[in-house]
Amino acid sequence: MAMVASLSSMAVGTAAKLKAKPHLLAPKTLTLQNAPSTISFRSYQTLTAISIPSKNPLLPPIKSLPPPLEYEATSGSLKSRLAAGETLYGLFLLSASPTLAEIAGLAGYDYVVVDMEHGSGGISDALPCLRALAATRTPAVLRLPEPSATWAKKALDLGPQGIMFPMVDTPAAAAHAVACCRFPPRGIRGSAHTVVRASAYGLDDGYLTRCEEEILVMCQVESFDAVAEIEAIAAVEGVDVVQMGPMDLSASMGYLWDPGNRKVRKVLRDVERKVLGVRKTRTEADAAAEGGGAGGPYLGGFAMPHDPPEELKARGYHLVAGAVDVGLFRRAAVEDVQRFRLVQTEIGEEEDEFEKPREESYWSE
């Protein structure tokens, strides 16, 4: 029981450090009773009843609770926050670094996209990043290398809150993306829910009843062909987010080196208006229908040097990715080197170190 007490103290200490983020998910507590003692496990993702056999002959076996504990949907999920009208600010993680993922979560980003399309990592690299983000209670989205059922299946089994499908050019491709996130008969997702991380390795009895409603299906529109069918793509049932891809869009229009070209910006504005129009129409129709509905898709986008995140927010975007981890480090590293090299000191000339103003912060800051 000393070990249990120690683990409990660590959990309380960690929770105290994270109080500064008001939107963080509230922890759930799982209690297992074996007279005369009670053991509690804290989880930020699921609430589940499990049974652990006891090898201590002095203690009776630990029994699972008679009725299974009911799962309570977290108020801080991406879908619930979007439904509440929040604009979410995120980061793309290309480095596949769990350390940078953890820093991003602690910094306060609303979500982090672990990028397996342009990033160097794959599924096995994404898993430590998801664990690091879970430790900071920051939702993770996985961007797939390609819009395939195989990649979607492996990504969904890790338990992210969202899946991003790249290069969705047609309504049929959007419908395929949705099907990849649904079990048969509604879709084509393969089933291993009894042993994967998404279901707490089979310990979460309620996983199947809610997983399809909780996952955020994000379809990237990033080609001129997709732009021509944007309203039909946005209208596909089950598409939760239409994510704009300005870099690939500009390349498909012949402006690879000029994503800020006036013609590219004009096309983007037109697409934005159409997606927001589909959302408004669908939301009004669902509100008028008996029982209501989820409404149309949200609009997601990437900030660019010529199109900063605050402008995307002002134009009605619901999810704004403001930076890339590699880009942030590159800029900081280049500025650090330039700052050092710009210091001009005459050879043999020394300054009195006691005359220099004292820095208020550590060198690492």
Residues with a catalytic annotation lie at: 118
Could you say which DSSP state residue 149 is in? H
Give strand pairing partners of 88.
319
Per-residue DSSP letters for 173-204?
Answer: HHHHHHHHTS-TTT------TTTSGGGTTTT-
For residues 147 and 166, is the Cβ–Cβ distance under 8 A? yes
Could you say which DSSP state residue 357 is in? P
Tokens of 191: 């089933």
Alpha-carbon dihedral sign for residues 190, 194, 198, 201: negative
Helix (H, G, I), strand (E, B) or coil at 93: strand
The dihedrals phi and psi of 175, each to the nearest 5 degrees, come to -65, -35
> Cα separation of 143 and 124, whole Å?
14
Whose CA is closest to 317, among 105, 82, 77? 82
Tokens of 216: 């955020």
Radius of gyration of the chain (CA): 24
For residues 257 and 203, is the Cβ–Cβ distance under 8 A? no
For residues 278 and 299, is the Cβ–Cβ distance under 8 A? no
